[in-house]
Amino acid sequence: MAIVIPTLMSCSKDEDSQEGYTVDFSIEVDSENPNNIILTNLSSGDYLYVEWDYGNGQSTGKSINKEQEQTVYYPLKGNYEITLTIWGPLNSIADTKTMTKTVTIDADDPDYTAPGGLIWSDEFNSSSVNKSNWTFEIGTGDWGWGNDELQYYTDGDNVEITDGKLVITARKENDNKERGSYTSTRMVTMNKQEFTYGRIEIRAKLPSGTGVWPAIWMLGSNLGQVGWPACGEIDIMEYVGYQPDIVHSTVHTTAGSGGNGSGGSISLPTAEEAFHIYGVLWTEESLTFYVDSPDNIVHVYAPASKNDTNWPFNKPHFFILNLAVGGTWGGAQGIDNSIFPQSMEVDYVRVYELN
């Protein structure tokens, strides 16, 4: 059976605007199937929208549907944090209330068959980073990893796995705002886990504050032979702290790189407060970037006439997860030393075959 444990109730900063509505919900185990959890919205008062995060990588997004009861299927055992956010009359992050409860599923559903097409994943459920998947890149890199960044990447000192999540933390070592004044982590799957085409999803929560620059991205595995940008770069998600709640997806090739890369951006008001799925559908014809759902598209890259300069994406690529400090983009408006430490949390990295 499932054990329900309330864990958190929080309100936003503007308490005055929140008079007249409350957030609450109940959790009940389906008597016929303990892997089905019945959620009932018990919120009351003057509020506009609801947003459910089921804690399993799925969320509803902001919705006018205040349906009182719904059933969510959790086929695998584990702890899942279910969060309900309701939006008050001001329709802003400052006018929300949130409640989180944890449900524990004690056993896998014996009738469950995993969705077809999962090629590889790292769920970060072990006690430490799996070295068969990841390598730590160390140091300050050439010209701050090519972007004049100021962090020193350590050999795992700035990463941990907590409650099934990978946590990469950037720390301030001194106030000088020079190379080495900060430490962080950059980890790659190069020569270990490399892929060509697929549906790729990473569920993550982002850090905040001026000067941070987290990224979830991929580089061509032939980087050592052809160099950058000829190898191709797939930026599934980039975020600069001085532009809060705006996430970016970009492609870099010989035909267009750096400031001339092909990319798009989308507003994501809870990027720093909640986990979201950052995904890309990578086919022989296109790269389609999205947030939470393939219907929520950030950018599509699909050159009509493909050649080596604009489409190096017919070859294997590897993953990179990193949290930079400063740099040509992340530090374009300086660094606020009062914000540290800051962390990027990653729930999982998954690669599926395309349907």
Q: Catalytic residue positions?
A: 233, 238
What separation in angstroms does the CA of 81 have from each of 101, 170, 181, 296, 315? 6, 25, 36, 23, 38
Residues 6+ apart with CB under 8 A from 354: 117, 197, 198, 199, 281, 283
DSSP for 39-87? EEE--EES--EEEEE-SSS-B--SBS---SEEEEE--S-EEEEEEEEEE
What separation in angstroms does the CA of 207 have from each of 171, 243, 336? 12, 12, 13
Among left, alpha and beta (phi > 0; psi -120 to 50; other), residue 121 is: beta
What separation in angstroms does the CA of 9 have from each of 43, 130, 189, 210? 13, 34, 38, 28
In the chain, the amino acid numbered 193 is Q
Tell me the C-alpha distance between 160 and 224, whole Å: 29
- Give me the long-range contacts of 280-288 (CB less than 8 A, separation at least 24): 280/199, 280/200, 280/234, 280/236, 280/249, 281/199, 281/354, 282/196, 282/197, 282/198, 282/199, 282/200, 282/234, 282/313, 283/197, 283/354, 284/197, 284/314, 287/234, 287/251, 287/313
